[in-house]
Structure 1
Amino acid sequence: MTRTRAHRRTLRHTAPAALAATALALTGCSVAGGASDDASTGAAGGTVTLVTHDSFALSDGLLEQFEADTGLTVQQVAPGDGGALVNQLILTKDAPLGDVVYGIDTTFASRAIDEGVLAPYTSSAPAAADAAAYAPDDSGSLTAVDVGDVCLNVDHAWFTAQGVPEPTTLEDLTQPQYRDLTVVTNAATSSPGLAFLLATVGAFGEDGWQQYWTDLTANGLKVAEGWSDAYYTDFSGGGGGGSRPIALSYASSPPETVPEGGDEPTTGALLGTCFRQVEYAGVLAGAQNPEGAQQLLDWLLSDEVQADIPGSMYMYPVSSAVDLPEEWARWAPQAEQPIEVPLADIAEHRDEWVRDWTDLVIG
């Protein structure tokens, strides 16, 4: 992984709690062409303001081409990661931060909808039919743009060298032969950490997930504050010389471990441990430029943007019309049956689960 890729992935995996303190300090910035005093006027050739999480990134030239094609100028406001993003949308819903939002994910979708920060819009883009499969409800308020599977990753070389069979299930991690081998990230401070907590809730139920974490902790679990520390420092397969061959990451991580001159990755994802995150876009209620917002949302579902998402944001596109990078198609399959938790349950219990997890695991 290059330094740029590592930096972007680290940003993606930073949780709401870690960024909330800086959310209010962030101001709008022009993505291309410079901010204007009459931003979001809704006039033809005017400005459309895109509100995103702070790891939004696309290849050079894509956004400029959208502006050239539409006559719009795109201004970006980035108030933090997924949770900070939704919090700011709620706090500013009477005077919206912009016109369209990208980056509301599975864990906060219900909250955004329930708080009324979004306006219904049904995209006419060809990929909208694929996106509909990930719709959080029937309100038409959020349109799926990309998806990612949070999964445990294993270091094949370590297990081969030690003569230990690789784990395949969540339950395996609590067995004595896997003692002191696993590192995950903090559910209160990292996005994948929260997703993995939800995976255990989905797998073991309200009455069983706490006992699972008790057993996992007793078996020598290590909790890192963020994804970068867990993957690059503690994980033996992350290139940093770590000692733990089981780490929480993404199903898209293994292709990045193909060594120079090699033809297969040195790590693999345990697809039976995955929780699927979906990232959505939506037109903001009270938008100054709703037509521009709709154009921008449609563009996020275009073939050009959808094909760019794996390389720029390390997520899977929702469109079935674009090809994945060759290494993704070969080494980064999505989970066929990801672990699920109803969005309504996440909305109702998310904060409670995080508090309970923190008391139980961190103390």
Structure 2
Amino acid sequence: MRLALSAFCAAAAVLPSIALAQDADRPVLTVYTYESFTPDWGPGPRIEKAFEAQCDCDLRFVGLEDGVAILNRLKLEGEGTQADIALGMTAELVPELKATGLFAPSGVDLKPLTIPGGFSDDTFVPFDYSYLAFVYDSESIADPPKSLAELVSGDPDQKIAIQDARTSTPGLGLLLWMKAVFGDQAEAKWAELSRRVLTVTPGWSEAYGLFTKGEVPIVLSYTTSPAYHQIEEGTDRYKAAAFSEGHYLQVELAGMLRTSRQPELARRFLAFMLMPEFQSIIPTGNWSLPAAPTGEPLPAAFDTLVQPSRPLEIPAADVATHRAEWTAEWLRGLGR
């Protein structure tokens, strides 16, 4: 290896880097996404390889804290953003995303979508969905909560980790889940739940890391999370609690920026998201449910997951109108 490296360095000293010259000739497509999308264990590298095999381009992911943080970043950057595509926001944010004036129509046919309840929009393209759930360690929790009400009123010595509703899509999802179930009583229920909250993290990765390290026995995540542990670790120790009131549905989506330097390539990527080459990566890459056909059956572990009989949703227009008000309730209820 040392000989090979020496030969490479000698050649580089005489000639310009061919690799750099080739890269300069390839268009770059920059995608803002959340941080758990980009690591080697996430879906990003496989999606990058699959798309670059057909686009003759350089697909670059920029990882941010979480889905809501992407919206916050775009608001801050405005038309000066370097992003061509933003990927990882959720459907309840569509009115706010459109209100920025930063997004352009996708031109993508959404007929292949298989999302419960359907989805229709001229700008944003879903790429996966899942249901929020509280995942627990069955070696620590013998009798998990059977409802959101039981979780709220449960043993304060059994701590939970949740995510920030201002920066995180699961955190925002829990805010809406509480509102959908408890309505006007949500603030009081947040105050009751606060006895059990060990920490509120900026994003999903930090909270789930605390859970897998054993620092909390319960964490806000998704019904699909246990599939990861079954497939990758060969254990069914970690389970999602099934709640009688139903589980909040989160649909993740992407959109292209109006200021994109590569608009045709961006539209091509959005269309690629609904193809089997992309969708087949989602179940065991992003540990979510595919938004369109994958061309193959889901792994058997997905058959063992909680199957919510009642998908809960609040209309996106209502979320846009009340998100600031409901976030203030959340802050007061948690004492923050």
Global fold match (TM > 0.5): yes
1:308 and 2:293 equivalent? no
Contact 1:35 1:75 in 2 (8 A): no
TM-score (norm. length: structure 1): 0.72
Residue 47 of structure 1 corresponds to 28
Unaligned runs of 5+ in 2: 1-18
1:248 and 2:248 equivalent? no
Residue 321 of structure 2 corresponds to 348
Return the letter of the residue paired with 2:37. Answer: F
Residue 59 of structure 2 corresponds to 74
1:268 and 2:237 equivalent? no
Q: Cα deviations across residues 69-124 of structure 1 (Å, max 9, x unaligned)?
A: 23233244445532232233334443442333222223432211122211112324
1:214 and 2:160 equivalent? no
Q: Give runs of aligned pairs for residues 44-193 of structure 1, distance below 5 A.
A: 46-57=27-38, 58=43, 60=45, 62-78=47-63, 80-124=65-109, 127=112, 129-130=113-114, 134-135=118-119, 138=121, 140-160=122-142, 165-175=143-153, 178-187=155-164, 188=166, 190-193=168-171
Cα offset for 1:279? 1.3
Contact 1:148 1:250 in 2 (8 A): yes
Given the superposition, is the C-alpha separation of residues 326 and 186 from structure 1 closer, same or farther in structure 2, using an over 3 Å criterion? closer
Residue 198 of structure 1 corresponds to 176
Cα offset for 1:59? 6.1
Distance of 2:139 and 2:298 partners within structure 1: 25
Return the letter of the residue paired with 1:180. Answer: D
Q: Secondary structure at the match of 2:145?
A: coil
Q: Secondary structure at the match of 1:111?
A: helix
What's the % identity of the aligned pairs? 27
Given the superposition, is the C-alpha separation of residues 266 and 259 from structure 1 closer, same or farther in structure 2, using an over 3 Å criterion? farther
Cα offset for 1:142? 0.5
Distance of 1:47 and 1:93 partners within structure 2: 20
Return the letter of the residue paired with 1:212. Answer: K
Cα offset for 1:301? 1.5
| Count of aligned positions | 310
Return the letter of the residue paired with 1:153. Answer: V
Unaligned runs of 5+ in 1: 1-32, 40-44
Contact 1:252 1:328 in 2 (8 A): no
Residue 261 of structure 2 corresponds to 288
Contact 2:132 2:221 in 1 (8 A): yes
Contact 2:188 2:333 in 1 (8 A): no
TM-score (norm. length: structure 2): 0.77
Contact 2:137 2:217 in 1 (8 A): yes
Q: What do you get for the CA RMSD once the two structures are aligned? A: 3.4
Q: Secondary structure at the match of 2:220?
A: strand
Distance of 2:264 and 2:85 partners within structure 1: 10
Q: Cα deviations across residues 173-208 of structure 1 (Å, max 9, x unaligned)?
A: 3446x4433414143564433321211011111x11
Q: Report the structure number with the largest CA radius of gyration.
A: 2
